[in-house]
Amino acid sequence: MEWMKQAAISAQKSDAVFFYVFGLSVAFLLFITALMIYFVIRYDKKRHPVASQIEGHVGLEIVWTVIPLILFLSIFYYGWTNYEYMSQAPRESMVVKVMARQWSWSFEYPNGKQSKVLFAPLEKPMKLEVRSADMVHGFYVPSFRLKIDAVPARANTTWFQATRLGAYDIECTVICGVDHSLMLSKVVVVPEDEFKAWYFGGENAPEPGKSLTAAGTPAAPPDEPKGLALLKANGCLECHSVDGKPMVGPTFKGLFGKSEQIKVAGVDQTVTVDEAYLRRAILNPESQVVRGYPADTMPAAELKPDELSQVVTYLKTLK
Ligand code: HEC
């Protein structure tokens, strides 16, 4: 299972504390169960018909006070030092601003670069300043054992240093509305030179870890239409299918040329889907809502004019 991987130092530390406490618990469970079985046999009514009064035993009292005390203090110490480690980012960390909103994550780097997935160089510390644009969300990377609240009007900070290449899930841990379960992204851990090429490259620098961005799904075949790649990159396919399957939003299959029932400012209308309709639907989803689907759900797309044309061209091919 992906989340079980230890993909950052924080995961190793957190698991070490967990297994320490877990190991102690198992040892005590076995010890107490064995003792209980022994007593049941030893003080059975046949062997021990008359109950006897046992007076105090100072040595025993000291032993069972001091040993648990030491164990509890060791748990506290271990937990505390790891907590301290996880709350203090090294000075040389790169600081990334994380913004949570209903229902997506976005990341901004010190040089102003922005992305929808969190690119991170291998074995380099990254400090995260986590904020929210609307309400309380929870930033969680299971494979890093990294979790922190995203709260409006303040920045919560945490950090990580990835130890494995790969793409790891980012989830929201706070129920934040209808599409909470779709509020997903990825941390994409790439070799440092690949990260630098993207970070210092201009607008058109290739995205690092292309083959990992959609985690699990293989790299896009070279003949993939531009429009489809854009739909993937902009998260459209989280809510729309291209094969006829209804998802959160209507499928794109057979959309072009179809007569669509929509609501415009609350009034029912039937329109034929043409290019102009598609452009409006993508840039200004609130202006025309497809009947039977929720309004306020589709985020207005942030596409450049030529990207929008490529998307529309691609949608027209989905017969
Ligand atoms: C969070 C889910 C979500 C995402 C992400 C999303 N959409 Fe939508 N989309 C919807 C829903 C729900 C509707 C139907 C309600 C409406 O029309 O606003 C819709 C409607 C549409 C329609 C009109 C469909 C029809 O049957 O008339 C188009 C076109 C469309 N979306 C394109 C896109 C594109 C392109 C993207 C990516 C840039 C995108 N959507 C991202 C949820 C989403």
- Tell me: the pLDDT tens digits for 50-70? 888 888 899 999 999 999 999
Per-residue confidence (pLDDT) for residue 70, from 0 to 100: 96
Give the integer Cα–Cα distance in Å for 124 and 122: 6
CA-nearest of 33, 104, 31 to 300 is: 104
Per-residue confidence (pLDDT) for residue 20, from 0 to 100: 94
Query: Which numbered atom of ligand 1 lies nearest the CA of 290?
Result: 17
Q: Which residues does a 6 A CB cutoff place in the pocket of ligand 1?
A: 179, 234-236, 238-240, 248-250, 255, 260, 273, 278, 281-282, 285, 289-290, 293-295, 297-299, 301, 311
Question: Looking at 8-12, 94-98, 189-193, 294-298, which range is the least confident one?
Answer: 294-298
Residue whose pair of structure tokens reads 């990254």 in the numeric block: 126
Q: Are 166 and 7 in contact (CB under 8 A)?
A: yes
CA-nearest of 161, 205, 213 to 187 is: 213
Per-residue confidence (pLDDT) for residue 215, from 0 to 100: 45
Burial class (CB in 10 A: 0-12, 13-18, 19+), 120: buried
At 119, which amino acid appears? F
Per-residue confidence (pLDDT) for residue 130, from 0 to 100: 96
Closest C-alpha to ligand 1, atom 39: 236
Per-residue confidence (pLDDT) for residue 25, from 0 to 100: 96
Task: Summarize pLDDT for 14-31 with one digit per residue, the tens.
Answer: 999 999 999 999 999 999
Q: How many angstroms from the chain centroid is the CA of residue 176?
A: 14
- Cα(298) to ligand 1 centroid in Å equals 5
Q: Are 192 and 124 in contact (CB under 8 A)?
A: yes
- Cα(281) to ligand 1 centroid in Å equals 7
Per-residue confidence (pLDDT) for residue 240, from 0 to 100: 86
- Cα(81) to ligand 1 centroid in Å equals 47
CA-nearest of 13, 170, 224, 311 to 210 is: 224
Per-residue pLDDT at 147 exceeds 90: yes
Residues 6 or more apart from 129 whose CB is under 8 A from it?
95, 96, 97, 98, 155, 156, 157
Give the integer Cα–Cα distance in Å for 198 and 213: 14
- Cα(318) to ligand 1 centroid in Å equals 15
The mean pLDDT value of the chain amounts to 87
Closest C-alpha to ligand 1, atom 43: 298
Closest C-alpha to ligand 1, atom 18: 289
Per-residue confidence (pLDDT) for residue 217, from 0 to 100: 43
Per-residue pLDDT at 212 exceeds 70: no
Pocket test for ligand 1, best of 298, 304, 310, 312 (most atoms within 8 A of CB): 298
Q: Are 108 and 114 in contact (CB under 8 A)?
A: yes
Closest C-alpha to ligand 1, atom 1: 298
- Cα(104) to ligand 1 centroid in Å equals 15
- Cα(300) to ligand 1 centroid in Å equals 9
- Cα(211) to ligand 1 centroid in Å equals 25
Backbone angles phi, psi at 106, to 5 degrees: -140, 155
Task: Summarize pLDDT for 214-270 with one digit per residue, the tens.
Answer: 444 444 455 678 888 888 888 888 888 888 877 778 999 889 988 888 988 888 888
Closest C-alpha to ligand 1, atom 22: 281
The band of 203, judged by pLDDT with boundaries at 50, 70 and 90, is low
Region 203-222 average pLDDT: 57
Residue whose pair of structure tokens reads 């005390």 in the numeric block: 69
- Cα(282) to ligand 1 centroid in Å equals 7
Out of 19-33, 168-182, 293-307, give the one with best mean pLDDT.
19-33
Region 273-296 average pLDDT: 88
Closest C-alpha to ligand 1, atom 30: 282
Region 154-172 average pLDDT: 92
Region 114-121 average pLDDT: 91
Per-residue confidence (pLDDT) for residue 59, from 0 to 100: 93
Count Cβ neighbours within 10 Å for each residue of 276-289 and write b for 16 or more, e otherwise.
Answer: ebbbebbeebeebb
